[in-house]
Amino acid sequence: HPYIYKITFATANESSALVVRPFSEKGTLKDLIYKAKPKDPFLKKYCNPKKIQGLELQQIKTYGRQILEVLKFLHEKGFPYGHLHSANVMLDGDTCKLLDLENSLLGLPSFYRSYFSQFRKIN
């Protein structure tokens, strides 16, 4: 799918898994929002709230549509994706691509599991 970030190499065994992707100079959607450089350390990139900037309306429309299209595609294929957040959306030019699709295959809990698990029944 054009909105899924490619994997260069992947391997797994009984106790671990390894996934390698190409490095992106542009970084993730989170990097764009925080005006951060992908190679900077985590605390330097994301712990200064003064650097945060919003996105332009056109960017929101474009990225939102692309994310919804790939989520629809995954849903139609019966593939669960519970790790949607700005750090799992890689920017490639004016296109955004989802990362970490393998998490559900590896049995990792959803990013939002802690929010959902507080409810006994979700309508």
Q: Are strands 95-98 and 9-12 parallel, antiparallel or unpaired?
A: unpaired
The answer to whether residue 13 is domain-embedded is: yes
The answer to whether residue 62 is domain-embedded is: yes
Which helix (H) or strand (E) segment holds residue 89: the answer is strand 89-92
| Per-position pLDDT tens, the chain of length 123 | 999 999 999 998 988 889 999 999 899 999 999 988 999 998 888 887 777 888 999 999 999 999 999 999 999 999 888 889 999 999 998 899 999 888 877 777 776 666 666 666 655
The answer to whether residue 11 is domain-embedded is: yes
The answer to whether residue 123 is domain-embedded is: no
Q: Look at residue 88 and give its three-state secondary structure.
A: helix
Name 89's Cβ contacts closer than 8 Å, sequence gap at least 6.
28, 29, 30, 63, 67, 96, 97, 98, 99
- Name the residue among 96, 112, 17 with its Cα closest to residue 59: 96
Most distant CA atoms of the chain, gap in Å: 46
Question: What pLDDT shows up at residue 51?
Answer: 75
Domain count, the chain: 1
**Amino acid, res. 103:** N
Q: Is the CA virtual torsion 42, 51, 24, 71 positive or negative?
A: positive
Answer whether 74's CB lies under 8 Å from 81's CB. Answer: yes
Identify the domain containing residue 111 by its residue range.
7-115
- Confirm whether pTM is higher than 0.75: yes
pLDDT one-digit tens code per residue, 46-58: 887 777 888 999 9
| CATH code of the domain covering residue 110 | 1.10.510
The answer to whether residue 121 is domain-embedded is: no
The answer to whether residue 1 is domain-embedded is: no
The answer to whether residue 2 is domain-embedded is: no
pLDDT one-digit tens code per residue, 90-110: 999 889 999 988 887 777 777
